[in-house]
Amino acid sequence: MTAGRLLLGATPLGQPGDASKRLVDALTTADVVAAEDTRRVRSLAQSLGVKIAGRVVSLFDQNEAARVPALVDDIKAGATVLVVSDAGMPLINDPGYRMATACIESGLAVSCLPGPSAVTTALAVSGLPSDRFCFEGFAPRKQSARKAWLAGLAAEQRTCVFFESPRRLADCLHDAVDELGGDRRVVVCRELTKVHEEILRGSLADLAEWADEKVLGEITVVLAGAVPTTDLPALVAEVDALVADGMRVKDACARVVEAHPGAPSRRELYEAVLRSRDD
């Protein structure tokens, strides 16, 4: 008997029309649809004008571990199992990770039906650098943990994307002002792709004040990376230490510049080293 496969299907964030044709086909042909919310996947199918032919089961954080063995057995027996979350890509802060890893460990086929993701959608519309970014899931709930987490982002130079509850957004942004400074750029995306979509761009201080008003809807935050700072005398001292160990000045300047993102050019550092020797 030929084994089946696991399909990870991205679902629309808000607009049914964003569903891919492959997702629509999978909803109508999969033997099992494992959904974060069975009511929502049935509602999605109705909006798309299709009927789910297979068995529909729930797969959410609290029951995923218990569900996985039986679903893996289904796939081993030849079934196609489609995993979908409420919106966006499964596994990206949504159920599906345990299911995917169990299938991989069993040597079963795992495929993805790509499509919407709040992470990349927010990043694309933010206007912040997108060549390098990190995703942090949901911000910690408790203030002490949240402040420690934000402090850990103080030197992060990549654009950071994270989710936050609308009820905690104001507290989170005010904590960010305390830990990162009020001038750091931030973008708050509310209800992405939905009727009441709202994209707000500004400083942490400005958007923290805005969030003091009641905020509703799904929230994705895009935080600008830290701007590198350079301490020129410290860099000169590093060059001097390398030269004292026998390295040529130009080579030492090149190594120090490479080790410090945001450092001045090799020529500028070289000239600073020479000036320091004339003092």
Predicted pLDDT of residue 134: 97
Encoded tokens for 234: 């410290």
Task: List residues bridging with 187 in a β-sheet.
Answer: 201, 222
In this prediction the pTM is 0.81
What is the rounded distance in angstroms from the CA atom of residue 128 to the CA atom of residue 174?
21
* Digit-coded pLDDT (tens) for 148-175: 999 999 889 899 999 999 999 999 999 9
> CATH code for 5-116?
3.40.1010.10
Range scoring the smallest mean pLDDT among 63-67, 229-233, 241-245: 229-233
Closest by Cα among 211, 222, 213, 160 to 189: 222
**Residue 192 has which token pair?**
């992405």
**In this structure, are residues 117 and 10 in contact, taking their beta carbons and an 8 Å threshold?**
yes
Backbone angles phi, psi at 36, to 5 degrees: -60, -40
Q: Where are the domains of the chain?
A: 5-116, 119-223, 232-278
Q: How far is CA 49 from CA 21, 28, 146, 161, 163, in A?
A: 12, 10, 43, 34, 31
Q: Which CATH number fits domain 119-223: 3.20.20.140, 3.30.950.10, 3.60.40.10, 2.40.30.60?
A: 3.30.950.10
Among 116-130, 170-184, 202-216, 225-239, the range scoring the smallest mean pLDDT is 225-239
* Among the ranges given (11-25, 170-184, 228-242), the one the predictor scored with the smallest mean pLDDT: 228-242
Q: What is the 3-state secondary structure (H, E, C) of the chain?
A: CCCCEEEEECECCCCHHHCCHHHHHHHHHCCEEEECCHHHHHHHHHHHCCCCCCEEEECCCCCHHHHHHHHHHHHHCCCEEEEECCCECCCCCCCCHHHHHHHHHCCCEEEEECCCCHHHHHHHHHCCCCCCEEEEEECCCCHHHHHHHHHHCCCCCCEEEEEECCCCHHHHHHHHHHHHCCCCEEEEEECCCCCCCEEEEEEHHHHHHHHCCCCCCCEEEEECCCCCCCCHHHHHHHHHHHHHCCCCHHHHHHHHHHHCCCCCCHHHHHHHHHHHHHC
Please check whether residue 264 is in contact with residue 232, taking contact to mean a CB–CB distance below 8 angstroms. Answer: yes
Average pLDDT value for residue range 209-238: 91
Asked if 5-116 and 119-223 have one fold, the answer is no
Tokens 């009727």, located at residue: 195
Question: So what's the pLDDT on residue 169?
Answer: 98
Q: What is the mean pLDDT of the chain?
A: 94
